[in-house]
């Protein structure tokens, strides 16, 4: 009888040890995956608005260099507003300038901030709402310095409760 209890206890200890090793392996794989997915952006710039106001004539400029014309890039445009922001969206005009100085026509882009019922679309933390727009798998055909310019395109001369507007560019692996 004593022998059976000993074997049973030994079997339980082996099972616990196996589960612990399995858990450690899962944790290691998760960390490797997490680190590989959070690479540092090739370009990152954030513009903070004075007094939380984006004036209609205020143009936000982002200038960055592209060295690799073969690899694709993911571009993230993010907007941070307060929860006191009055509207459910923000229209902006986006213009791109190539290294040779060729400019695109201003492209209207809607940044959706809240659903019509007032539920936030972006990530809300305290009194701040962050909304992202993704432009995936973009190719820059020329090496050199590019410019992206953004201008608010609402009917209001000033849009309040706007904290930051940022641009991240990440080269695809």
Domain match, 104 and 157 both = yes
Instruction: Compute how many other C-beta atoms are within 10 angstroms of the C-beta atom of residue 46.
Output: 13
Domain match, 14 and 97 both = no
Q: Identify the bridge partners of residue 120 per DSSP, sorted by sequence position.
A: 114
Q: How confident is the model at residue 173 (pLDDT cuts 50, 70, 90)?
A: confident
Q: Checking phi first, is residue 118 left (phi over 0); if not, alpha (psi -120 to 50) or beta?
A: left
CA distances for 45 relative to 42, 94, 99, 155, 166, angstroms: 10, 16, 19, 27, 6
Domain match, 8 and 75 both = no
Give pLDDT tens digits for 80-127: 999 999 999 999 999 999 999 999 999 999 999 999 999 999 999 999
In terms of Cβ atoms closer than 10 Å to its own Cβ (0-12, 13-18, 19+), residue 38 is: exposed
Q: Please state the pTM of the whole predicted model.
A: 0.74
Tokens of 17: 């040890």
Only one residue has tokens 């709402």, namely: 129
Domain match, 84 and 55 both = yes
Domain match, 156 and 109 both = yes
Average pLDDT, the chain: 87
State the total domains in the chain: 2
Domain match, 112 and 91 both = yes
| φ, ψ of residue 31 in degrees (nearest 5) | -65, -40
Residue 48 domain boundaries? 43-171
Domain match, 89 and 149 both = yes
């Amino acid at each position: 009888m004593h022998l059976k209890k000993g074997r049973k206890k030994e079997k339980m200890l082996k099972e616990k040890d196996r589960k612990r090793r399995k858990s450690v392996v899962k944790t290691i794989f998760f960390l490797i995956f997490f680190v590989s997915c959070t690479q540092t952006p090739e370009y990152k710039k954030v513009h903070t608005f004075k007094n939380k106001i984006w004036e209609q004539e205020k143009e936000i400029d982002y200038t960055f260099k592209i060295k690799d014309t073969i690899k694709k890039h993911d571009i993230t445009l993010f907007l941070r507003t307060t929860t006191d922001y009055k509207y459910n969206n923000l229209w902006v005009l986006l213009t791109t300038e190539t290294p040779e100085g060729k400019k695109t026509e201003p492209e209207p882009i809607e940044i959706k901030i809240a659903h019509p019922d007032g539920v936030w679309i972006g990530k809300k933390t305290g009194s701040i709402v962050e909304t992202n727009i993704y432009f995936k798998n973009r190719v820059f055909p020329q090496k050199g310095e590019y410019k992206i310019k953004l201008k608010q395109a609402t009917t209001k001369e000033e849009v309040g409760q706007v904290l930051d507007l940022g641009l991240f560019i990440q080269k695809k692996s």
